[in-house]
Amino acid sequence: MRKKWKILAFIASAVIFVDQLSKGIVSKTMFLGQSIRVIGSFFRITYIRNPNAAFGIRVGSGSPILMMVLTSIATLLLIIYFFRIKEKGRLLYSGLVLIIGGAMGNLIDRFRMKQVIDFIELGIKRFRWPVFNIADSCVTIGIIIVLWVWIFGKKREKNLDNSLINSESML
């Protein structure tokens, strides 16, 4: 149990720190709606504020209070699930904690401003992905990891953990 707390505290804190730092830098150095090209038109830093769910998805009436409540409940349920699961595996734990950390990063914005700062814009010509942030990225990566573990099973993850441990001991 103690190891789980360390994983949760370390990864979630790192995600929240990087997310809030990046949002703070963007909001202090750019004006709302400003876009800076980083890699041509493929990757831009575009400062927007999003009252909706990740990637601008509208949930229900789009109410900021509803978003705060739903995100808080989902985060709490994920934390409970994290501590109740019997399976062991760094990959599953890390995926869940990335989701929790990302949700908490966006939840901070929702409680502070009733919306979320987004700034990462990707796309080619008129085919653009909705603007997102570090927290959204962590939630997405975490979901992919958790689905990977659930689909391909704990046995495969255990083999991966063992091979990581063996390769670390070789170093």
Q: Does residue 117 register a pLDDT over 60?
A: yes
Do residues 75 and 100 lie in contact, with contact meaning Cβ atoms separated by under 8 Å? yes
Catalytic residue among 19, 109, 136, 161, which?
Answer: 136
pTM of the model: 0.81
Residues 6+ apart with CB under 8 A from 156: none
More confident residue, 151 or 161: 151
Known catalytic residue at 19: no
Catalytic residue among 19, 109, 118, 161, which?
Answer: 118
Rg of the chain over all Cα atoms, to the nearest angstrom = 18
More confident residue, 48 or 171: 48
What is the total count of domains within the chain? Answer: 1
**Residue range 86-112: average pLDDT?**
90
Range of the domain at 60: 2-170
Residue 86's pLDDT band, with cuts at 50, 70 and 90, is: confident
Residue 168's pLDDT band, with cuts at 50, 70 and 90, is: low
> What is the per-residue DSSP string for 87-119?
---HHHHHHHHHHHHHHHHHHHHHHHHSSEEEE
pLDDT of residue 51: 79
Residues 6+ apart with CB under 8 A from 5: none
Known catalytic residue at 136: yes
